[in-house]
């Protein structure tokens, strides 16, 4: 699957003859599975009509800040939020100058001003070679590069004036390649299969009652979301929670520890990594009743039997090169317990937290964790669950690479 599949790309078209190549760029992006919208400067519309882009993208093209007939007062915000990345092709001398100096007097410049800081902006520059050589332009480009804008440099070749010179826009295929290479580098887990479990399990006592715990599933869902953003092929085995499935993640719903064990034990042999985040029941009712237990019939005790320890099983059958990550919630002796569980369940990494630490409870959006491996123990400060997920995936990636370098050299 292409790294662009499902990505939302905003293509900006400014007023240069290379605008015609932007039509083909849109098509190439779509062939890679990207969703494309186009915004044009007024000068851009002189070279190619918005209708052409509308036909290609099957979407309205933004050409004005204040169009008369539509309600678009906040479009520069909503479209900028929508985009995963933005590519301006062509980016003219004038437009590069505008973006450098924070001018936002057309819809495209407006959208770029409103683009969230974590979205990459690409500018495929195109102009006459005299303009290209101007200090003003060269200095602007240096400034933009320092700010993290990806400048796709112009090429030497025939310009519109039929003379040779540097200034011709890179071909759409090259622009696409640059974007794909960047995305691949930002997605180290591409091609890897990651299994994540999340949420609680529910163990039936009778048709209306069950044993469960306070897990919200938020930590596991954050790991699944971030792993997918980093390129992994993610399967999320989820206990009953009220969270939305992260984009691109395949979700399998289960209720009980036994159901979770069945799904995970089948999937684990084909996975590269398992993050066992779920709060799985340790014990389950031995004889769940078929009918609701009446108060008059109830006894003071409930007979329980052990639930399968999914993680311990996965640790036993782990193959060289597979990475196994466990989670532990402890209210005392966190580190000693984490070390013990890491060794006894054959884990490469265990992430431990204490729910009585402020900001580390089940239902909140933050966590305070310590990560324990065979070689290191690192305590992290209060972070959002999303940030914790990023830290866990970064450490897991280092461990996974070490394991696989070792596995490769042993074979």
Question: Footprint of ligand CTP on this chain (CB under 6 A)?
Answer: 257, 276, 278, 280, 282, 307, 309-311, 326-329, 341
Per the annotation, the verdict on 213 as an active-site residue is: yes
Q: How far is the CB of 374 from ligand CTP (least distance, A)?
A: 17
Q: Which of 289, 339, 336, 282 is nearest to 311 (CA)?
A: 282
* Residue whose entry in the numeric block shows the structure tokens 């953003």: 229
- Using the minimum distance from each CB to ligand CTP, give the nearer residue, 171 or 330: 330
- Using the minimum distance from each CB to ligand CTP, give the nearer residue, 80 or 194: 194
Q: How far is the CB of 206 from ligand CTP (least distance, A)?
A: 22
Q: Which of 183, 307, 332 is nearest to 239 (CA)?
A: 307
**Phi, psi for 393 (deg, rounded to 5):** -70, -30
* Separation CA 94–CA 59 (nearest Å): 27
3 state SS of 206: strand
Per the DSSP assignment, residues forming a β-bridge with 367 are: 383
Q: How far is the CB of 208 from ligand CTP (least distance, A)?
A: 24
- Using the minimum distance from each CB to ligand CTP, give the nearer residue, 143 or 354: 354
Q: What is the DSSP string of 233-244?
A: EEEEEE-S---P
Q: How far is the CB of 337 from ligand CTP (least distance, A)?
A: 6
Q: Are 410 and 320 in contact (CB under 8 A)?
A: yes
Q: How far is the CB of 277 from ligand CTP (least distance, A)?
A: 6
- Using the minimum distance from each CB to ligand CTP, give the nearer residue, 254 or 276: 276
Q: Which of 26, 23, 22, 42 is nearest to 34 (CA)?
A: 26
Q: Are 258 and 204 in contact (CB under 8 A)?
A: no
**Phi, psi for 353 (deg, rounded to 5):** -145, 160
- Using the minimum distance from each CB to ligand CTP, give the nearer residue, 249 or 311: 311
* Separation CA 121–CA 150 (nearest Å): 6
Q: How far is the CB of 406 from ligand CTP (least distance, A)?
A: 24
**Phi, psi for 374 (deg, rounded to 5):** -65, -30
* Separation CA 288–CA 267 (nearest Å): 28
* Separation CA 111–CA 77 (nearest Å): 7
* Separation CA 92–CA 90 (nearest Å): 6
- Using the minimum distance from each CB to ligand CTP, give the nearer residue, 141 or 329: 329
Catalytic residue among 110, 140, 181, 213: 213
Mind telling me the catalytic residues?
A: 213
């Amino acid at each position: 699957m292409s790294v662009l599949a499902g990505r939302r790309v905003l293509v900006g078209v400014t007023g240069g003859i290379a605008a015609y190549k932007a039509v083909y760029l849109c098509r190439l992006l779509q062939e890679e599975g990207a969703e494309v919208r186009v915004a044009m400067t007024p000068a851009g519309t002189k070279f190619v009509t918005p209708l052409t882009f509308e036909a290609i993208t099957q979407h309205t093209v933004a050409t004005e800040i204040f169009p008369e007939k539509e309600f678009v007062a906040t479009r520069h915000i909503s479209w900028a939020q929508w985009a995963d990345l933005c590519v301006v092709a062509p980016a003219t001398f004038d437009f590069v100058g505008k973006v450098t100096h924070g001018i936002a007097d057309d819809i495209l410049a407006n959208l770029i001003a409103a683009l969230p800081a974590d979205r990459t902006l690409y500018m495929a520059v195109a102009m006459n070679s005299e303009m290209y050589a101007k200090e003003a332009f060269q200095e602007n480009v240096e400034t933009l590069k320092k700010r993290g804008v990806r400048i796709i440099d112009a090429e030497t070749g025939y310009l519109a004036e039929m003379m040779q010179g540097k200034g011709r826009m890179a071909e759409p295929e090259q622009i696409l390649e640059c974007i794909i290479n960047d995305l691949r580098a930002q997605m180290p887990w591409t091609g890897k299969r990651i299994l994540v479990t999340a949420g609680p399990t529910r163990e039936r006592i009778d048709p209306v009652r069950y044993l469960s715990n306070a897990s919200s599933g938020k930590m596991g869902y954050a790991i699944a979301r971030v792993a997918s953003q980093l390129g992994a092929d993610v399967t999320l085995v989820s206990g009953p929670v009220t969270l939305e499935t992260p984009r691109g993640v395949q979700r399998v719903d289960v209720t009980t520890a036994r159901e979770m064990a069945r799904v995970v034990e089948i999937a684990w042999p084909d996975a590269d990594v398992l993050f066992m985040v779920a709060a799985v029941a340790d014990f389950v009712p031995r004889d769940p009743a078929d009918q609701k237990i009446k108060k008059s019939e109830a006894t003071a005790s409930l007979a329980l039997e052990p639930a399968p320890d999914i993680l311990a099983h996965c640790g036993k059958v782990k193959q060289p090169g597979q990475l196994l990550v466990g989670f532990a919630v402890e209210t005392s002796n966190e580190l000693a317990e984490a070390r013990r569980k890491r060794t006894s369940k054959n884990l490469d990494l265990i992430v431990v937290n204490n729910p009585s630490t402020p900001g580390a409870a089940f239902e909140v959006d933050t966590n305070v964790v310590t990560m324990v491996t065979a070689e290191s123990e690192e305590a992290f400060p209060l972070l959002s669950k999303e940030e914790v997920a990023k830290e866990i995936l970064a450490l897991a990636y280092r461990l996974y690479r070490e394991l696989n370098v070792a596995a490769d050299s042993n074979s």
